[in-house]
Amino acid sequence: MDVIERIKDQLSNPVVLYMKGTPDFPQCGFSGQVVQVLSACQAKYMYVNIFEDPEMREALKEYSNWPTYPQLYINGELVGGCDIIIDMYNKGELQSALAAVDGVQA
């Protein structure tokens, strides 16, 4: 399976966060902030530590046309990075987007 097929396979999950590190040990402040926001939303999500797969780290930048991490996807669509996610959270838009998928616990 090539790297683009692996990305598409991962994006079949309802909510996917491509981040630096893990939710328990984020390795950059921006990834940590997004993890905190998702936690505040009680979101269930899959994460991918892009440090563990350099090939994917580079390919995803081209796939998404987004140069930085973290990257949050909902229903296979790129929502954005840290600033966009925090802005959406503050406006209540992130909660609505997550509620529209099986990403928020009842």
pTM for the whole structure: 0.93
Residue 56 CA to residue 77 CA, distance in Å, equals: 17
CATH of the domain spanning 3-99:
3.40.30.10
- Residue 41 annotated as binding? no
Q: Which residues contact 102 (CB under 8 A, 6 or more apart)?
A: 14, 44
Domain extents in the chain? 3-99
Structure confidence by residue, pLDDT tens digits, 4-31: 999 999 999 999 999 999 999 999 999 9
pLDDT in tens, 38-75: 999 999 999 999 999 999 999 999 999 999 999 999 99
Sign of CA dihedral 81, 99, 35, 11: negative
- Give pairs for 54-58: CB < 8 Å, separation 24+: 55/3, 56/3, 56/6, 56/7
